[in-house]
């Protein structure tokens, strides 16, 4: 039997090794990119690796998307109707790389209309511009020549596994929701039986309560949502003295997570620096002098990140020990104005 190899830590050998370029192409209002479409916007095509359209929900409380899991979906069970989104692969000459661009329903429909008029868009060159913060985009074909079959095949080989990206996102989200449910079950055991205060749904929607039904199992969702309101209050105001016992428990949980060096759960940080291109935050708080974290799939950074801004994140470490943000909230009205040289 072969002797197992000794484990060895993977070290960073250069500044280049620190870079974690994102496979996603994102745009702010009035920004645009030019690239070649490596797909057809048709969900019925079988051989279409550059396009993956799926149903997803928006978790209002977490501020991120959750792919719909169909019959086992907790959001569908809560009567939250999913929307559609599509991951599309593009070769972008300026980046010299294949990037994934997330298209909402209206953008996908626009691409489908163009494909119908142009007899397909695979391999053709487009200018894609974001028109507003409401998710409005404009796709326009250019006069550039279409990719050759050889180049098209070459770029498609470089394209990420779009279905794999969504599957990983679903797995992470289901694990997060399961952990929240387990935490809520523990907290529910400590709630007195006569606690009948109104609650809200963790899914972000109000749940109707039956005033005449005292300890019915159908009210579990209502009980879950009171805890969510308490978590939200703690995120918005760290000086809130209410529910000191629960806050103390949560602090202990956070300490345990940090000791295990695995997860962070709704921890507030101050932004030291934000590398927009690679979506990397450098953060600090009383427990961390410096912590670098990457924006995970399905999580969006605030539009105007400033030094000194207060954000609350949940994050987990990957196999290489890097922090990946799974949930992010920014406090409005915080942060140091651009050009300020004052230091705390």
Cα(171)–Cα(189) distance, rounded to whole angstroms?
27
Residue 215 lies in a domain: no
pLDDT at residue 137 in the model? 96
pLDDT at residue 276 in the model? 81
Query: Do 26 and 159 lie in a common domain?
Result: yes
pLDDT at residue 235 in the model? 47
Question: Residue 281: which of 267, 270, 289 has the closest Cα?
Answer: 270
Whether 257 and 263 have beta carbons less than 8 Å apart is answered as yes
pLDDT at residue 161 in the model? 95
Query: Do 134 and 262 lie in a common domain?
Result: no
Query: Do 147 and 278 lie in a common domain?
Result: no
Q: What is the CA radius of gyration of the chain?
A: 23
Query: Do 161 and 263 lie in a common domain?
Result: no
pLDDT at residue 42 in the model? 96
We report the CATH number of the domain holding residue 48 as 3.90.198.10
Whether 100 and 89 have beta carbons less than 8 Å apart is answered as yes
Residue 56 lies in a domain: yes
Residue 304 lies in a domain: yes
Sign of torsion over alpha carbons 160, 163, 165, 166: positive
Query: Do 40 and 150 lie in a common domain?
Result: yes
pLDDT at residue 6 in the model? 80
Residue 139 lies in a domain: yes
Residue recorded with tokens 């079950």: 185
Residue 225 lies in a domain: no
pTM: 0.52
Give the range of the structural domain holding residue 272, as residue numbers without chain letter: 254-336
Token pair for 266: 């709704």
Query: Do 160 and 62 lie in a common domain?
Result: yes
pLDDT at residue 143 in the model? 93
The backbone region for 298, taken as left when phi is positive above 0, alpha when psi lies in -120 to 50, beta otherwise, is left
Query: How many structural domains compose the chain?
Result: 2
Q: Which among 121, 139, 167 is the end of a domain?
A: 167
Query: Do 283 and 162 lie in a common domain?
Result: no
pLDDT at residue 193 in the model? 57
Query: Do 161 and 281 lie in a common domain?
Result: no
Whether 76 and 68 have beta carbons less than 8 Å apart is answered as yes
Residue 192 lies in a domain: no
Residue 241 lies in a domain: no
Whether 321 and 294 have beta carbons less than 8 Å apart is answered as no
Query: Do 157 and 28 lie in a common domain?
Result: yes
Query: Do 162 and 31 lie in a common domain?
Result: yes
pLDDT at residue 191 in the model? 59
We report the CATH number of the domain holding residue 274 as 2.40.50.320
Query: Do 155 and 38 lie in a common domain?
Result: yes
Give the CA dihedral 53, 327, 232, 70, nearest 10 degrees.
Answer: 30
Q: Which among 113, 137, 167 is the end of a domain?
A: 167
Cα(344)–Cα(342) distance, rounded to whole angstroms?
7
Other residues' Cβ atoms within 10 Å of the Cβ of residue 231: 20
Query: Do 126 and 264 lie in a common domain?
Result: no
Q: In the chain, which stretches have pLDDT less than 70?
A: 1-2, 19-20, 188-261, 332-344
Q: Which among 144, 167, 190 is the end of a domain?
A: 167
Cα(269)–Cα(108) distance, rounded to whole angstroms?
36
Other residues' Cβ atoms within 10 Å of the Cβ of residue 144: 13
Give the pairing of strands 97-104 and 263-275.
unpaired
Residue 88 lies in a domain: yes
């Amino acid at each position: 039997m072969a002797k197992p190899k000794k484990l060895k830590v993977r070290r960073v050998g250069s500044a280049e090794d620190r870079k974690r370029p994102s496979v996603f192409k994102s745009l702010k209002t009035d920004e645009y990119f030019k690239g070649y479409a490596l797909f057809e916007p048709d969900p019925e095509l079988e051989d279409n690796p550059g396009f993956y359209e799926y149903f997803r929900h928006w978790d209002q409380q977490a501020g991120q998307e959750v792919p719909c899991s169909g019959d086992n979906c907790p959001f569908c069970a809560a009567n939250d109707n999913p929307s559609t989104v599509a991951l599309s692969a593009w070769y972008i000459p300026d980046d010299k790389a294949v990037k994934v661009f997330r298209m909402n329903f209206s953008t996908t429909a626009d691409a489908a209309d163009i494909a119908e008029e142009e007899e397909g868009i695979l391999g053709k060159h487009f200018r894609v511009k974001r028109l507003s913060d409401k998710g409005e985009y404009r796709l326009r074909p250019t006069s550039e020549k279409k990719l050759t079959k050889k180049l098209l095949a070459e770029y498609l080989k470089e394209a990420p596994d779009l279905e794999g990206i969504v599957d990983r996102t679903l797995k992470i989200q289901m694990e997060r929701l399961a952990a929240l449910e387990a935490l809520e079950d523990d907290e529910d055991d400590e709630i007195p039986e006569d606690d009948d205060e109104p609650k809200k749904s963790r899914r972000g929607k109000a749940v109707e309560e039956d005033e005449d039904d005292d300890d019915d199992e159908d009210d579990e969702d209502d009980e879950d949502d009171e805890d969510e309101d308490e978590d939200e209050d703690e995120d918005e105001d760290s000086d809130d003295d209410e529910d000191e016992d629960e806050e103390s428990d949560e602090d202990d949980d956070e300490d345990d997570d940090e000791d295990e060096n695995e997860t962070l759960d709704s921890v507030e940080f101050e932004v030291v620096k934000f590398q927009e291109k690679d979506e990397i935050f450098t953060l600090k708080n009383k427990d961390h002098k410096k912590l670098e974290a990457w924006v995970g799939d399905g999580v969006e950074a605030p539009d105007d990140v400033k030094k000194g801004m207060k954000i609350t994140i949940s994050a987990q470490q990957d196999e290489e020990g890097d922090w990946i943000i799974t949930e992010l909230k920014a406090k409005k009205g915080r942060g140091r104005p651009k050009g300020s040289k004052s230091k705390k």
